Amino acid sequence: MSNRRTFIKSSAFLAGSLALSPSILYAKSQVAASDKIRVALIGCNNMGLGILRHHIALPEVECVAICDVDQNILDKRIAEVGTATGKKPQRFTDFRKLLELKDLDAVIIGTPDHWHCLIAVAACQAGKDVYVEKPMANSIGECDLMAQAASKYSRIMQVGQQQRAGQAFIESRDLVKSGYLGKIRKVNIWSNFNYGLGNEFKPATAIPSGVDYDFWLGPAPKREFNPNRFHGSWRHFWDYGGGLMSDWGVHLLDMAIWVEDNPSAPGHVMTYASNVNKENRDRDTFDTMNVLFPKKDFLINYDMNGGLQTGPYGKPYGIAYVGDLGTLVVNRSGYEIYPEWDPTAEANKIEAKKLEGTTESHNLHVANFVECIKTRNEPNCPPEAGRIAALHAHIPNIAARVGAESLVWDDAKRKFIGNKEANELIFPEYRKPWVLPKI
């Protein structure tokens, strides 16, 4: 516990900057070379940088290399990390070359989702541990390949579902599992975000200088450059992401799966999806979805609205564990229990409880990963957990794409029952020269 407290204190960053405090820089200088953990970042624009920031705040971690296919961002990040740590990371534009580094323990994958599988499998094959952002991959089949690779090559793989390290979520899970709320009948999840609509249409342009767009597309179909299908907004197109469903849905659904007695893949999934705001928006993915996942322990009820930003309990997004004795509502800011009323006893059935002021937990999820690199213990979000969470996002997306209100997934056979079109979307078709990895 004292280690955890020390870490929280020592990892406090200057807001939005990579700057490290003098005490961290001093602590770093005291770590013996043999105790250092050497990491590299692949895909350094936004979240990748955020995750790297939490790595380099740990005394034992050193960033030895950064790779990106956009040289403008790459050069900026190399300079920033060099200034923050006093040591310039090596520069790569091809992750395969980076993976040849001998003195490299782990990679952070902060690329768009369509790249996660190829890079993660290659990293495992090169003997590197992997922190891969969520969703684990952009398809059901690629998640499987990644889990197989981590297992075959005995690598630590942490999937970036950082809520598993968050205090509000850990306490909520403990309360649910302890039976405090009585029998849980439903887990209601809602996810309302303006950005879920995507951008307004923009014309195609020349490829920005310094960008290798063919490499950025990688295994995805060849296309002319359009800024909407690039940094940040790629997530609204099936070739690279799964929209709000796999962007936020995967985080929130993970919190329902996490409280199951035996976390399980979806079986029968019922999906309603529509696009109520599409005419002036450049997007493949859906803005409106309701999905029911009947599970052994309870029903998961997922409600998503891209383009709205208000929701139940005054929160744009959240999770409500609905028990016989009360409902616990949680998001990244905290939780609150709403007790049921007992009319006979004229009293609440349980005591109300509240936790406020919690924040993001990427730093703790990263600390857990680095600890597991050393101990070889299972991390907070191991590959199988990442795979199951991703399935809860990909299956409704597939249902919506093939127009099936009801789909049945047979996880043992890794197939949908009786839906050929859905089965065709289990794996993406890779564009040459990229080929789906064989494990």
Q: Which residues bind ligand NAD (CB under 6 A)?
A: 42-48, 67-70, 73, 95, 110-113, 115, 133-134, 160, 162, 215-216, 218, 231-232, 234, 247
Token pair 């740990």 in the structure block, residue = 58
- Output 112 or 196, the one with its CB closest to ligand NAD: 112
Between CA 430 and CA 16 the distance in angstroms is 37
Token pair 């998640």 in the structure block, residue = 143
Q: What's the min distance (Å) between Cβ of 268 and ligand NAD?
A: 27
Q: What's the min distance (Å) between Cβ of 180 and ligand NAD?
A: 28
Residue 282 tokens read as: 């450049």
Q: What's the min distance (Å) between Cβ of 211 and ligand NAD?
A: 7
Judge whether 93 and 75 are in contact, CB under 8 Å: no
What ranges in 359-437 are assigned the alpha helix state H? 362-375, 383-402, 420-423
- Output 146 or 337, the one with its CB closest to ligand NAD: 146
Bridge partners of 406, per DSSP, are 270
* Secondary-structure breakdown of the chain: helix, strand, coil percentages, each rounded to the nearest 5: 35, 20, 40
DSSP 247-306: HTHHHHHHHHHTTSSS-----EEEEEEE-SS-TTEE-SS-SEEEEEEE-SS-EEEEEEEE
- Output 108 or 300, the one with its CB closest to ligand NAD: 108
Q: What's the min distance (Å) between Cβ of 128 and ligand NAD?
A: 15
- Output 231 or 353, the one with its CB closest to ligand NAD: 231
Handedness of CA 29, 35, 41, 45 (dihedral sign): negative
Q: What's the min distance (Å) between Cβ of 74 and ligand NAD?
A: 8
Which residues fall within 8 angstroms of residue 164, CB to CB, at 6 or more apart?
A: 170, 254, 258, 365, 380, 381, 385
- Output 68 or 175, the one with its CB closest to ligand NAD: 68
Q: What's the min distance (Å) between Cβ of 72 and ligand NAD?
A: 9
Q: What's the min distance (Å) between Cβ of 240 and ligand NAD?
A: 9
What's the half-sphere exposure (Cβ side, CA atoms, 13 Å) at 71?
Answer: 9
Q: What's the min distance (Å) between Cβ of 274 and ligand NAD?
A: 23
Residue 364 tokens read as: 């703790």
- Output 91 or 177, the one with its CB closest to ligand NAD: 91
Angle at alpha carbon of residue 287, lines to 286 and 291, rounded to 5°: 75
- Output 129 or 254, the one with its CB closest to ligand NAD: 254
- Output 234 or 416, the one with its CB closest to ligand NAD: 234
Pairing between strand 288-294 and 268-274?
antiparallel
